[in-house]
């Protein structure tokens, strides 16, 4: 084992970036009134069938977009043997791994069955439990966990192999239950204690110690692997990126000062979400702007929230686990607003409205409306007229892309390379319906 002092630390931003005004977003908080088993939510994930699974301190919930199906140990709910969950994972086979005091439960929704693994030896005694936290499944289907002993206030790193055999890997420092872990290549990274990350081999042996720069509270709150980098969120709000091949450690401009940062999500496009106590930040990396959604949530809950976990489902919706419910955030960007206002050079009538939308292989989005067609560039977010000279007039008919051409529902074909318009159906201008490619 060796210790690596990360002296290549580069301070990229010393001050928190100015907050932008809240964008157009729909914020919904699901509580017990909507059918949730408990308002204190621990984690939110999605399975391959599209169901949203919500683990709380009093039951597991499945949400189908309309209503909740609750899983509990008592009552008329769907049955699971435990209620108080501390963490949750969903693997590639849609098995749901749930941690609760003294137990790991593996629930198989497709079969409606479950298995239990006891993580404490001997009798189960209230307030003397071994509590698993920070669950992580590695590439070999081993389940790693930080096992917190309520009696001694000590934590140990344990691993449950594919044969359901449990062993202790190493002792973890600090009298706190959570020690997040991620895997990059064949190396496991574990938040060991303040300012320290352990690099472990596949057997759980410490092979290197990474020492972070000094700060108010540099204990790791969350980690996420993005390509070949690690994003490291510290309790004090500092966000770091670490590149293992070069050893480069940098502070991200998203960093800010707080007493308790707890949740991190880095989206595939580079946008970042950070949650903590009374702070729910969204960083738009293209614009360099940061939005705090906590005021939007506060307006609904009327109480200060702690945001524990942030998740993005396959449709792009953001889900946030909080102590006041499951929060759903649907972001909308009015990229076409400037062309829909009256007396605009491209839209001089209040009747202007979008009628057709389609996309080509390169991700360019074509939008038809009252008297023109616009194209939205996916890289720059730039919305411009397809015919800048405005020499093209088209009634509000549908739009379909096929092989470098646009087809409208009034019988026109627009060659995108030549920017020429051809008439396929010679008849009075009227809507014939939607264009389909056969």
* Domain co-membership, 365 together with 302: no
Cα 394 from chain centre = 40
The answer to whether position 377 is within a domain reads: yes
pTM: 0.78
Question: Quick check: is 436 in a domain?
Answer: no
Torsion of CA 294, 300, 303, 307, to 10 degrees: -40
Name every residue whose Cβ is closer than 8 Å to that of residue 244 and which is 6 or more positions away in sequence.
184, 185, 187, 228, 230
Q: Are residues 207 and 228 in the same domain?
A: yes
Burial class of residue 77 in the structure, from the number of CB atoms within 10 Å of its CB (0-12 exposed, 13-18 middle, 19+ buried) = middle
pLDDT, tens digit, 9 for 90 and up, residues 333-345: 665 555 454 444 5
Same domain assignment for residues 144 and 276: yes
Does residue 433 fall inside a structural domain? no
Domain final residue, candidates 331, 351, 374: 331
The verdict on residue 435 lying in a domain is no
Average pLDDT over residues 9-24: 50
Task: Look at residues 309, 331, 353 and tell me which one is the last residue of a structural domain.
Answer: 331
> Within the chain, what is the greatest distance between any pair of CA atoms?
84
For 353-364, write each residue's pLDDT tens digit. Answer: 677 889 998 889
Same domain, residue pair 135 and 270: yes
Rounded to whole angstroms, the Cα distance separating 322 from 341 reads 38
In a domain, 430, yes or no: no
Q: Mean pLDDT over all residues of the chain?
A: 87
Residues 150 and 172 in one domain: yes
Q: How many CA atoms lie within 13 A of 27 on its CB side?
A: 17
- Whether residue 432 lies inside any domain: the answer is no
Whether residue 184 lies inside any domain: the answer is: yes
Q: Is 8 helix (H, G, I), strand (E, B) or coil?
A: coil
Residues 138 and 220 in one domain: yes
| Residues 233, 382 share a domain | no
Last residue of a domain, one of 276, 302, 331: 331
Q: Is residue 138 part of a domain?
A: yes
Distances (CA, A) of 166 to 145, 158, 172, 181: 10, 7, 17, 17
* One-character DSSP codes across 217-267: ---EEEEEEETTEEEEEETTS-EEEEETTTTEEEE-TT----S-EEEEEE-
Q: Looking at the structure, do residues 308 and 413 belong to the same domain, yes or no?
A: no
Instruction: Give yes or no for a contact between 214 and 225, defined as CB atoms under 8 angstroms apart.
Output: no
Cβ-Cβ contacts under 8 Å for 48 (sequence gap 6 or more): 94
- What span, in angstroms and rounded, lies between the C-alpha atoms of 438 and 432? 16
- Same domain for 323 and 346, yes or no, is no
Say which DSSP state 204 is in: S
Domain count, the chain: 2
- pLDDT higher than threshold 60 for residue 1: no
pLDDT at 27: 95
d(CA 6, CA 2): 13
- What per-residue confidence (pLDDT) applies to 25? 87
Q: Determine the pLDDT at residue 15.
A: 40
Which of 251-260, 272-281, 319-328, 397-406 bottoms out in mean pLDDT, i.e. has the lowest?
397-406
Residue 308: which domain range? Answer: 2-331
The average pLDDT across 237-247 equals: 95
Cα separation, 107 vs 45, in Å, equals 14
Which pLDDT band holds residue 383 (cuts at 50, 70, 90)?
confident
Task: Please write the tens of the pLDDT for every residue from 70-93.
Answer: 999 998 789 999 999 999 999 999
Both 232 and 344 in one domain: the answer is no
Pair 102, 135 in one domain: yes
CB 320 within 8 A of CB 28: no
Task: Say how many C-beta atoms besides its own lie within 10 A of residue 151's C-beta.
Answer: 10
* 3-state SS class at 294: helix
Same domain, 357 and 326: no
CB atoms within 10 A of CB 253: 18
For residue 177, what is the domain's CATH number? 2.130.10.10
**CATH code at 384?**
2.40.10.500
């Amino acid at each position: 084992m060796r210790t690596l002092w990360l002296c290549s630390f580069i301070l990229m931003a010393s001050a928190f970036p100015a907050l932008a005004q809240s964008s157009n977003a729909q914020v919904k908080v699901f509580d017990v009134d909507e059918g949730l088993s408990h308002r204190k939510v621990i984690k939110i994930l999605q399975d391959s069938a599209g169901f949203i699974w919500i683990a709380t301190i009093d039951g597991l919930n499945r949400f189908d977009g309309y209503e909740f199906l609750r899983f509990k140990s008592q009552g008329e709910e769907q049955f699971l043997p435990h209620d108080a969950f501390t963490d949750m994972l969903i693997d590639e086979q849609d098995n749901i791994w749930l941690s609760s005091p003294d137990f790991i439960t593996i629930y198989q929704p497709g079969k409606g069955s479950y298995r239990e693994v006891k993580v404490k030896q001997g009798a189960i005694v209230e307030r003397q439990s071994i509590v698993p936290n920070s669950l992580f499944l590695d590439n070999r289907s081993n389940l790693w966990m930080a096992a917190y002993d309520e009696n001694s206030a000590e934590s140990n790193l344990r691993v449950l192999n594919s044969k359901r055999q449990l062993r202790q890997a190493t002792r973890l420092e600090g009298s706190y239950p959570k020690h997040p872990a991620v895997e990059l290549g064949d190396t496991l990274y574990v938040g060991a204690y303040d300012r320290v990350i352990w690099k472990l081999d596949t057997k759980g042996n410490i092979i290197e110690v990474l020492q972070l720069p000094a700060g108010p509270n540099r204990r790791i709150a969350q980690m996420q692997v993005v390509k070949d980098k690690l994003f490291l969120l510290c309790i004090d709000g500092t966000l770091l990126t670490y590149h293992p091949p070069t050893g480069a450690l940098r502070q991200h401009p998203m960093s800010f000062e707080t007493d308790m940062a707890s949740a991190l999500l880095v989206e595939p496009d580079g946008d970042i979400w950070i949650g903590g106590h009374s702070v729910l930040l969204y960083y738009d990396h293209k614009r360099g702007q940061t939005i705090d959604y906590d005021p939007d949530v506060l307006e609904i809950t009327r109480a200060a929230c702690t945001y524990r976990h942030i998740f993005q489902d396959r449709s792009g919706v953001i889900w946030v686990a909080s102590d006041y419910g499951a929060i759903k955030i649907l972001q909308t960007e009015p990229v076409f607003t400037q062309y829909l206002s009256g007396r605009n050079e491209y839209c001089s009538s209040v009747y202007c409205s979008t009628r057709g939308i389609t996309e080509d292989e390169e991700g360019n989005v074509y939008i038809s409306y009252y008297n023109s067609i616009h194209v939205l560039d996916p890289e720059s977010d730039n919305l411009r007229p397809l015919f800048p000279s405005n020499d093209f007039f088209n009634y509000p008919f549908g739009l379909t892309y096929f092989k470098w051409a646009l087809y409208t529902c009034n019988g026109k074909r627009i060659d995108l390379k030549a920017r020429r318009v051809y008439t396929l159906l010679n008849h009075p201008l009227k809507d014939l319906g939607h264009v389909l490619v056969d």
